[in-house]
Amino acid sequence: MELTYEKVKSIILAVLVVLSVILTWNLWSYHPNVEEFENRNTIQEVAFSPKKDMKEIVKIDQTIFHMDSKYFGTVSSEKMDKMMSVIKNWKFTDFDNIPFAQIDVASIVEDRDNVQILYPGEISSELFASIYQIEGKNLPQFSFNQILIDFRISEGEHGTVYFISQEDKQVYSSHVLASSINHFKNEFMEEEKQYDQFFSLTTGTGQKIYLPENETELVNNQYLTKTNVEADQLMNALFSNPSLVQKNFISTGVEYKDGQNLMRENNETHMITYIDPSEAENENKETNEDLLKQSIDFVNNHGGWTDNYRFVRFDKAKRTLHFQIYGPDGYPVFGENSPISNMEIEWSSAGISRYYRNNFSLGLLTLKSVKTIESGHAALEKIQQRENYNPDLLEDIKIGYKMKMNVQTLLLSLEPSWFYLYDGEWYPLASNEIGGEQIGLE
């Protein structure tokens, strides 16, 4: 039988359909060799601890109420979180930039009843709005480290809130419903007796700080350390191609190199340093908010918030963000002889250029005892007795915890103490000595 052109086309089409069915079935039923992929060196997902969101890292340092010419305040996270949960529902309107030279912030603080909400470092208005879900307020872009709520309400429906940057010498004012401010005042000032009484001190940099009038009782805690951050696992998170990384044992610990990047774990200081020297020149224009969000995301990606870290400072010149461990009572933690309680992230135009952190976390609480810390007046007097003391170089004074590690027993203690920032360095003020020893914190 003679094949016609149309019959040939039909046969070819049928063959193609059958081939298509066979290929489709093979694709659906194909199972790759899993072991082959598992044996390859790939970047592993690392999670040393749970992720945290912005509001858990960016926290208030202190709240100070000025009532009837007296100061009362708290560092309690629980109390301050309650205050901010009220403020996040406020409607801020009419933001105005007030030239710093045209407003006397000190007189507003001293002459009127108010509350100051103090952050340890500068944060942006956009960040503030995102944390507290403030929408539709047309916030201008600015940074601040202090919120001042004026309890004096003029005739009308609105009161005034000031956002103040001591670093940038900048003040923005905004309006809030008078009913909101009065509600805040009535709710939290009724609890005045549960707050500690403070006195104010203007430091050599012109910053006003607040110190407790009386002695403070704090708990001296002792913990077993936990090695949460394994260097081998962290290497997998930080290096783009772990298969190219060489691991070498050195006198102080271990180092990891891939020809360009370097990570060292120091077994003596219990610190890990990661360096990426690529593209040292910095042409990026990211804001404080951008880099802070990126830094929190970076640490979240490997679960690096192994303790109660908080954002404390952004060094604009070095593009470095500083985070610090805080103790159970809301006070900052300082390393005894090194910054083992600090985390630093430095950015270049290519990304992370330096990451510095410890390799442990607070484990099981093994011992608690009460320690009485002397008053702010007594601490200030001791600081002023420092040899060659210059009041212009005194920048800050804080109660905090001194972190001490026993290398033999792996016990770690948090001992309450006074600390002071003098000429760019933090020093502990021991109760039995004058001046203290430098602990090398910026």
Per-residue pLDDT, 112: 86
Q: At what angle do helices 77-87 and 178-189 cross, to 10 degrees?
A: 160
Residue 129 has pLDDT above 80, yes or no: yes
List of E strands, 47-139: 62-67, 70-74, 93-99, 114-124
pLDDT at 16: 53
In order of their start, the domains of the chain are: 55-213 (no CATH), 227-312+344-358 (3.30.310.160)
Distance CA 381, CA 431 (A): 12
Q: What DSSP designation does 418 have? A: E
Condensed to tens digits (0 to 9), the pLDDT of residues 75-87 reads 999 999 999 999 9
Percent above pLDDT 90 for the chain: 51
Q: Does residue 301 have a pLDDT over 70? A: yes
Residue 255 has pLDDT above 80, yes or no: yes
Q: pLDDT band for position 38 (50/70/90)?
A: very low
Q: For residue 65, name the pLDDT band (cuts at 50, 70, 90).
A: very high
Angle at 238 between CA 255 and CA 258, to 5 degrees: 50
Q: How confident is the model at residue 98 (pLDDT cuts 50, 70, 90)?
A: very high
Q: What is the pLDDT of residue 222?
A: 92
Q: Answer for the pair 348, 415: CB distance below 8 angstroms, yes or no.
A: no
CA–CA separation, 437 and 418 (whole Å): 12
pLDDT band at 442 (very low <50, low <70, confident <90, very high): very low
Place of tokens 């212009």: 392
User: Which of 10-24, 180-194, 309-323, 398-412 ranks highest by mean pLDDT?
Assistant: 309-323
Q: What is the mean pLDDT of residues 11-31?
A: 52
- As a whole-number percent, the residues of the chain with pLDDT over 70 amount to 82
How far is residue 374's CA from residue 416's CA, in Å, rounded to a whole number?
10
pLDDT over 50 at 155, yes or no: yes
Say what the pLDDT of residue 250 is.
Answer: 93
Nearby residues of 9 by Cβ (< 8 Å), 6 or more positions away: none
Least confident of 89-93, 189-193, 219-223, 354-358: 189-193
If one counts every other C-beta atom within 10 angstroms of the C-beta of residue 52, the result is 16
pLDDT of 284 reads: 54
419, 418, 420, 423: which is closest to 392 by C-alpha?
Answer: 423
Average pLDDT score over residue span 13-30: 51
Between 33 and 354, where is the model more confident?
Answer: 354
Residue 136: helix, strand or coil by DSSP? coil
- For 24, the 3-state DSSP assignment is helix
In this structure, are residues 211 and 199 in contact, taking their beta carbons and an 8 Å threshold? yes
Give the CA angle between residues 158, 159, 163 to the nearest 5°.
130
- Opening angle at CA 71, ends 73 and 156, nearest 5: 95
- What Cα–Cα distance (Å) separates residue 211 from each residue in 43, 216, 235? 49, 11, 43
Q: How far is CA 297 from CA 52, 287, 293, 305, in A?
A: 9, 15, 6, 11
Q: Using CB atoms within 10 A of its CB, is residue 36 exposed (0-12), middle (13-18) or buried (19+)?
A: exposed
330 within 8 A of 81, measured Cβ to Cβ: no
E runs forming strands in 204-258 = 208-212, 216-226, 246-250, 253-257
pLDDT of 406: 82
* Residue bearing the bigger pLDDT, 408 or 192: 408
The token pair that represents 352 in the structure block: 């992370």
H/E element holding 311? strand 309-315
What does the radius of gyration of the chain's CA atoms come to, in whole angstroms?
Answer: 29
Predicted confidence at residue 32, as pLDDT, reads 40
Reported as a pLDDT band with limits 50, 70 and 90, residue 45 is low
pLDDT digits (tens, 9 = 90+) for 274-289: 999 875 555 555 666 6
Whether residue 247 is predicted with pLDDT greater than 90 in this model: the reply is yes
